[in-house]
Amino acid sequence: MSSALSANERVRNALSRALDVPGDTISDLPILHVTGACEAMIENHKGIQKFNSEELILYSSIGSIRITGKKLKILNINSHELILTGIIESVQYAP
Amino acid sequence: MVRKAFSILLDNDVTLMISCTNIERLINLCVAEKIQMREIQRKDFTTVLLKIQSTDYKTLRTIARKVHARVKIMNRAGIHFWFAKLCRRIFFAAGFGIFILMLLFLSSRIWSIQIEGAKRVDPKLIIAELNKNGLHKGCVKSGLPLREIEKALVQKIDEISIVKIDYMGTTAIIHITERTLPSAVEDNITQSDVIASKSGIIEKLVVYKGIPLMKPGDYAKQGQTIVMGLVSDIGNPSNIFTHAKAAVTAKTWYETSINADYNYKFEQRTGRFKQQVYYEMGKYKLYVKKGNIDYQKYDKIETKSARESFGIKLPIHKVIEYYYEKKDTVKRLSFEEAYEYCMKKAIARLSRIVPANAILRNVKLYKKSDKKGVTVTMLYIMEENIGIEKTAN
């Protein structure tokens, strides 16, 4: 995955390691919190590519994130955070 | 549950149904414009349901126009929507306001008084006392000094031991606990005699205490002493005064004399009458129906009723007056008719003066007739108790 990172991202990662701070504070990488199989919180997304009740595809700095499931519903969305509810079956990254 | 109800009331959410070929683009544009979207649900390929704040609606409409989307408001929740709707309907709002005011007005007053536990005390007396102290139908509940009223009631009415006033809605419930009063002590100490309350011939005399001065068969005049309040022994010169007691049954009589002319004059109604209706407020009168009363003689019958509004007596009375015309009439009576008239009159007059506890023993009748008319004298011979106690001076 590191090969897929841009020069900008590589600099940010190096800086976070050097300063000993968590990577997400400097870098723009997406963060996923999945609670059981019923709720997922995605930070640092770049917008929605596709959404329906069985699939959500998001843009991110590392490519697309594909979440599949059933009865999917976006509970809340803003520029940096998205909360998804429903029955989550899989999470996939696509460069 | 309550929290949910409040959130429904205070939230200003708008539920929208958006139809568009590129829903994802619309959502991304809304996110870029910092529109807070919640509960986004895809219904079908082109339709999505979502909730936004009402303040963001205009921005969303602008974006929707850009992406050629159709926006339909499905639901509006929140008090300000309701208020805005109300502002457009002035008369409804005014009516609602009046309704609330009426509700507050009516529920803040006492409209009925209920008395519980009063067996011997007259409820009218309690109501009158409550009215004096400010608790009456139509008075405001909050300003009443209930403890003071309870105290006043106990002080004024001897038979009442404890009073508790409670409110149940617009009803004031007066809980009364009555006092058990001691029975009246019989006066056996004060010296008194038994005297005749009216004249009569004594038939039976039972002396419980004292010395009898008369015996059966004697004629007792009104005020004459029958039994003296004195006790003495034979050979004992000293006298002891006492409270005389005796039952004195005597024969009494009541007499009346009635005269009837053969030319009997009386006033008779002609059958014509007139009516007047008016409202009276103090010295002012507002006539609803005014009749010109030109009868020389008439019977006047007046009915007066106080007006009430919401249980409050208004200082307005409705008065209905009936004027029945009368005329002097002379009727020639036969001897039998005149005699019957005298009898009826005599019986009516005697029944008014004879005491209720007296027993009728005999009736004597004397009739006299001349050219002018008939005179009937009726005598009732009665049996009654004529002995009354009189404190000796």
- At B241 the pLDDT is 81
A3 in contact with chain B, both atoms CB, cutoff 8 A: no
Selected for mutation to probe chain A from B30, B41, B47, B48 (highest A CB count within 10 Å) is B41
- Interval B159-197: pLDDT, tens: 888 999 999 888 999 999 988 877 777 777 788 899 999
Question: Of residues B366 and A28, which shows the higher confidence score?
Answer: B366
Question: Across the interface, do A76 and B37 touch by the CB < 8 Å criterion?
Answer: yes
Task: Count CB-CB contacts under 10 A for residue A48.
Answer: 21
Lowest mean pLDDT among A5-19, A80-94, B320-334, B354-368: A5-19
- Chain A hits for B31, CB-CB cut-off 8 Å, are 47, 77-79
Chains A and B form CB pairs within 8 A to the count of: 41
Of A47, A50, A74, the CB nearest to B40: A74
- At A19 the pLDDT is 78
Task: Quote the percentage of chain B above a pLDDT of 90.
Answer: 45
Question: Of residues B234 and B365, which shows the higher confidence score?
Answer: B365
Contact B194, B188 (CB under 8 A): no
Shortest CA gap B32–chain A (Å)? 6
Mean pLDDT of A17-39: 81
Q: Tell me which chain A residue has its CA closest to the CA of residue B47.
A: A52
A34 in contact with chain B, both atoms CB, cutoff 8 A: no
- At B293 the pLDDT is 87
| CA A15/CA A27 separation, integer angstroms | 9
Question: Across the interface, do B40 and A73 touch by the CB < 8 Å criterion?
Answer: yes
Question: Across the interface, do B38 and A73 touch by the CB < 8 Å criterion?
Answer: no
Residue B203 has pLDDT above 60, yes or no: yes
Question: Across the interface, do B41 and A73 touch by the CB < 8 Å criterion?
Answer: yes
- Interval B61-79: pLDDT, tens: 999 998 999 999 998 887 7
pLDDT tier at B89, thresholds 50, 70, 90: confident
Nearest Cα to B27, choosing from A63, A84, A61? A84
- Interval B213-222: pLDDT, tens: 999 999 999 9
Q: How many residues does chain A have?
A: 95
Q: Tell me which chain A residue has its CA closest to the CA of residue B22.
A: A50
Residue A2 has pLDDT above 60, yes or no: no
Residue B119 has pLDDT above 90, yes or no: no
Q: Tell me which chain B residue has its CA closest to the CA of residue A55.
A: B42
Contact B11, B19 (CB under 8 A): no
Q: Residue B238, Cα to own-chain centre: how many angstroms?
A: 61
Question: Across the interface, do A74 and B34 touch by the CB < 8 Å criterion?
Answer: no
Residue A4 has pLDDT above 60, yes or no: no
Mean pLDDT for all residues in chain B: 88
Contact B131, B144 (CB under 8 A): no
- At B236 the pLDDT is 66
Binding-site residues on chain B for chain A (CB distance < 8 A): 23-24, 27-28, 31-32, 34, 36-42, 45
Residue B234 has pLDDT above 70, yes or no: no
Q: What is the DSSP string of B221-273?
A: -TT-EEEESEE--TT----EE-B-EEEEEEEEEEEEEEEEESEEEEEEEEEEE
Non-local (6+) Cβ contacts of B29 within 8 A are B63, B66, B67
- Interval B5-35: pLDDT, tens: 666 566 678 999 999 998 999 999 999 999 9
B278: its two tokens: 């008016």
A48 in contact with chain B, both atoms CB, cutoff 8 A: yes
A70 in contact with chain B, both atoms CB, cutoff 8 A: no
- Chain A hits for B32, CB-CB cut-off 8 Å, are 79
- Chain A hits for B37, CB-CB cut-off 8 Å, are 74, 76-77
Of B24, B34, B38, the CB nearest to A75: B38
Lowest mean pLDDT among B96-110, B228-242, B268-282: B228-242
Of A73, A75, A77, the CB nearest to B31: A77
Contact B278, B241 (CB under 8 A): no
Of A49, A53, A75, the CB nearest to B42: A53
| CA B200/CA B250 separation, integer angstroms | 6
A41: its two tokens: 């919180």
Selected for mutation to probe chain B from A55, A64, A77 (highest B CB count within 10 Å) is A77
Residue B256 has pLDDT above 60, yes or no: yes
Residue A1 has pLDDT above 70, yes or no: no
User: What are the C-alpha distances in Å from B113 to residues A3, B214, B217?
Assistant: 91, 59, 61
- At B202 the pLDDT is 93
Q: What is the value of pTM for the model shown?
A: 0.41
- Chain B hits for A68, CB-CB cut-off 8 Å, are none
Q: Tell me which chain A residue has its CA closest to the CA of residue B40.
A: A74
Question: Across the interface, do B34 and A78 touch by the CB < 8 Å criterion?
Answer: yes
- At B264 the pLDDT is 86
pLDDT tier at B1, thresholds 50, 70, 90: low
